[in-house]
Amino acid sequence: MRIVLVGPPGAGKGTQAAYLAKNLAIPHISTGDLFRANISQGTPLGQKAQEYMRAGQLVPDEVTIGMAKDRMQQPDAAHGFLLDGFPRNLAQAEALDGILKADDLKLDAVLDLEVPEDEVVKRIAGRRMCRKDSSHIFHAIYNPPKTEGVCDTCGGELYQREDDSEETVRKRLEVYHSETEPIIDYYKAQGLVVTISALGKVVEVTQRAMAALGRD
């Protein structure tokens, strides 16, 4: 399956993507994670991305599309993938169509995670991520680790993302509404969108998502 996950920051895309990718046996491709890996390795791409991420803005398309394309063309993605955080605007959605079309492929579904804005703010304020594995995501109140600051799964250090500050989150939400939301209509026109509520326990949302994808 080739799936795109959309939803505002804090909808739980990363958390759900990790479970869904495992259940569906496809790689989880997160452009945010790829940028963060480049930043921690100090690559030129990471240096370029960092200023935009700090400001809560989108990294320019020419950087993002090439990086996403490279990742999608890795052997593990030959039979499907779950895209998390890409595409994030219409130009990227059109580029993705072109990349897939060149190989005679198409998307199977666009899973839209819906969550009210006040919930988003609460979720992001408490979000904690593992330094060793970015798919290990906790929340100080809703999904606390057994030991504060330590990942239950691998023992890695938990930290708060630099762009999870209140001011940057507000900017990211603005960018989501103006640039990313239009891709939902773009995909609706292709009959690809399935919308589910992202409220409730992590496992309930995963079950809802699997059912919406016809895989329960």
Give the 3-state secondary structure of 140-192. Answer: CCCECCCCCCECCCCCCEEECCHHHCHHHHHHHHHHHHHHHCHHHHHHHCCCC
Residue number with CB closer to ligand AMP (104 or 166): 166
Is residue 170 annotated as a catalytic residue, yes or no? no
Residue number with CB closer to ligand AMP (91 or 207): 91
Binding-site ranges for ligand AMP (CB under 6 A): 9, 31-32, 35, 52-53, 56-59, 64, 85-86, 88, 92, 163, 172
Which of 126, 129, 145 shows the shortest CA–CA distance to 137? 129
Q: Smallest gap, in angstroms, from Cβ of residue 216 to ligand AMP?
A: 26
> Residue 13, annotated ligand binder?
yes
Catalytic residue, from 2, 71, 123, 172: name it: 172
> Residue 7, annotated ligand binder?
no
Beta bridge partners of 157: 150
Catalytic residue, from 123, 127, 128, 208: name it: 127
Is residue 208 annotated as a catalytic residue, yes or no? no
Catalytic residue, from 71, 88, 123, 128: name it: 88
Q: Are strands 127-130 and 109-114 parallel, antiparallel or unpaired?
A: unpaired
Is residue 172 annotated as a catalytic residue, yes or no? yes
Q: Which residue has the tokens 């259940």?
A: 23
> Residue 65, annotated ligand binder?
no
Is residue 127 annotated as a catalytic residue, yes or no? yes
Which of 63, 9, 2, 46 shows the shortest CA–CA distance to 27? 2
Which residues form the catalytic set? Answer: 13, 88, 127, 161, 172
